[in-house]
Amino acid sequence: MKSLRFLLPLGLFAVLVGFLWVGLSRDPHEVPSPLVDKPAPAFSLAQLNDPGKKLGPADLKGQVWLLNVWASWCVSCRVEHPLLVQLAKANIVPVIGLNYKDTLALGRAWLADNGDPYKTSVVDADGRVGIDWGVYGVPETFVVDKNGVIRYKQIGPITPESLQQKILPLVRELQKS
Amino acid sequence: MKRILAAAGLAVSLFFVSAVSHAQPDAALDARLKSLFEELRCLVCQNQTLADSSAPLAEDLRREVRELAQQGKTDAEIKQYLVARYGDFVLYKPPVKPTTWLLWFGPFAFLLGGGLVWFIVLRRRGRVGSDIDPTQAANRDSDQGGNARARALLDESNNS
């Protein structure tokens, strides 16, 4: 009974430390998306390099693909861009760009300057498709499976770690199934 | 001082007059949207409501919510629309469900636990108190004996 008197507060303290340890080490800017494991929201948007042609998730059924949300005004997009260019060269998985709240001229100029890793980019000038996809911090990257279901969402720039440890293993697994 | 206050009051009321004259005709919708915006979180600046935030995304979401309201959607439907896209985090008041039970009922559990500890401590202290009482009673007895002796001594000295 006497030992309980000392162990109980110690135990409560340990629980508190546990909660704070996990809670404070999380990035509050990474809000888990409710869209993971849900069908990708439909859209049909004009392509950046050929505005006459439209593209949407329905056209990409039957293959695994990435949707990368980017903009010419987005600073951290520059951080992840070389990785995307590398990924495109490796030709593992098609990456569709969603040019978010940008202008045609600025978007095209940005790709001309930094390289175009996208199979194609579609234009979401007013950000409505972004809202449908739950976009709140550019860049964001979604992995969509063969059935058009979102399987993973990366918030913020892709890092070499997230690419090697999360995105590419998932893509390979999804391509097999 | 009074003059300064009067001037400040005038300035404030003028400000409101101009604000009202700039308001849109559909005041009922605006009032409804305002209270709705105050219950929704801006995903970019997370400690601000949609009403407070001037982030581009907040502007887009306000536009979206306004359009949904104009289409005749209820507040609950609009919230559901946003939750489906951004998760419960967009709601300033989290819904009550198994994953948020700890959040909603945790404080009451702590209150109950604290009350229990308080009760136990009080009861134990009461018991300890009753253990002490007999000795205090004995002390009092001995004191009374002392008093009697003192009185006797006093009487002796008075008599002499």
B87 with B104, same domain: the answer is: no
% of chain A exceeding 70 in pLDDT? 99
In this structure, are B29 and B83 located in the same domain?
yes
Answer whether residue B156 is part of any domain. yes
* Residue B105, min C-alpha distance to chain A (Å): 16
Asked if the Cβ–Cβ distance from B85 to A35 is below 8 Å, we say: yes
Chain B residues in contact with A136 by the CB 8 A cut-off are 43-44, 57, 86
What per-residue confidence (pLDDT) applies to A68? 96
Question: What is the pairing mode between strands A65-70 and A95-100?
Answer: parallel
From B43, B60, B89, residue closest to A127, measured CB to CB: B60
Could you give the angle at which helices A104-114 and A75-90 cross, rounded to 10 degrees?
A: 60
Q: Are the beta carbons of A133 and A142 closer than 8 angstroms?
A: yes
Q: Helix, strand, or coil here: A87? A: helix
In a domain, B14, yes or no: no
The pLDDT-based confidence of B155 (bands split at 50, 70, 90) is confident
| Among B95, B119, B147, residue at a domain's last position | B95
Angle between helices B56-70 and B75-86 (to 10 degrees): 140
Nearest to A170 by CA among A157, A151, A155, A154: A151
Domain map of chain A by residue range? 34-176
CATH number of B29's domain = 1.10.8.640
Q: Are the C-beta atoms of A151 and A144 separated by less than 8 Å?
A: yes
A127 and B85 within 8 Å at the Cβ level: the answer is no
Q: Would an 8 Å CB–CB cutoff place A136 in contact with chain B?
A: yes
B49 and B91 together in one domain? yes
Does residue A32 have a cis peptide bond before it, meaning omega lies within 30 degrees of 0? no
Candidates B46, B60, B83; nearest CB to A131 = B60
- The distance of B87 to chain A (nearest Cα, Å) reads 5
A19: contact with B, CB 8 A cutoff: no
CB contact under 8 A, B56 and A101: yes
pLDDT bin (cut points 50, 70, 90) of residue A134 is very high
Mind giving me the DSSP string for A58-76? GGGTTS-EEEEEE-TT-HH
Rg of the Cα trace of chain B?
A: 35
State the greatest distance between any 2 C-alpha atoms of chain A, in Å, as a whole number.
Answer: 80
**B118, B155: one domain:** yes
Least confident among A22-31, A35-44, A107-116:
A22-31
Tens digits of residue pLDDT in B99-140:
889 889 999 999 999 999 999 999 988 876 555 555 555 555
Show which of B60, B95, B130 is a domain's final residue. Answer: B95
Asked whether residue B62 is domain-assigned, the answer is yes
- pTM of this structure: 0.74
Residues of chain A with pLDDT > 90, as a percent, come to 81
Query: Domain A34-176, what fold?
Result: Glutaredoxin (3.40.30)
Contact at 8 Å (CB) between A129 and A45? yes
Q: Is residue B16 part of a domain?
A: no
Same domain, B112 and B146: yes
Last residue of a domain, one of B41, B62, B95: B95
Task: List the one residue out of A90, B139, B66, A89 whose CA is nearest residue B58.
Answer: B66
Q: State which residue of chain B sits closest to A9, comparing Cα positions.
A: B117
Contact (CB<8Å) B89/A31: yes
Within a 13 Å sphere around the CA of A157, how many CA atoms are in the beta-carbon half?
14
Kindly tell me if the per-residue pLDDT of B10 is higher than 60.
no
Question: Do residues B107 and B76 both lie within one domain?
Answer: no
pLDDT digits (tens, 9 = 90+) for A13-24: 999 999 999 988
Buried residues in A151-161 as b, exposed as e (16+ CB within 10 A): bbbbbbbbeee
Q: Does A23 touch chain B (CB under 8 A)?
A: no
**Same domain (yes/no): B65, B121:** no
- The average pLDDT across A149-170 equals 94
Whether the per-residue pLDDT at B13 is higher than 80: the answer is no
- Plot region of A115 (φ>0 → left; ψ -120 to 50 → alpha; else → beta): left
Residues B109 and B150 in one domain: yes
Provide the domain count of chain B.
Answer: 2
Q: Domain range spanning residue B43?
A: 25-95
3-state secondary structure of A106: helix
DSSP B114-159: HHHHHHHHHHHHHHHHHHHHHHHHHHHHHHHHHHHHHHHHHHHHHH
On whether residue B31 sits in a domain, the answer given is yes
* Residue B13, in any domain of the structure: no
Average confidence (pLDDT) over A104-118: 94
Interface residue A176 vs chain B (CB under 8 A): no
Describe chain A by its helix, strand, coil percentages, rounded to 5.
Answer: 45, 20, 35
Q: What pLDDT is stored for residue B12 in this prediction?
A: 55
Residue B9, in any domain of the structure: no
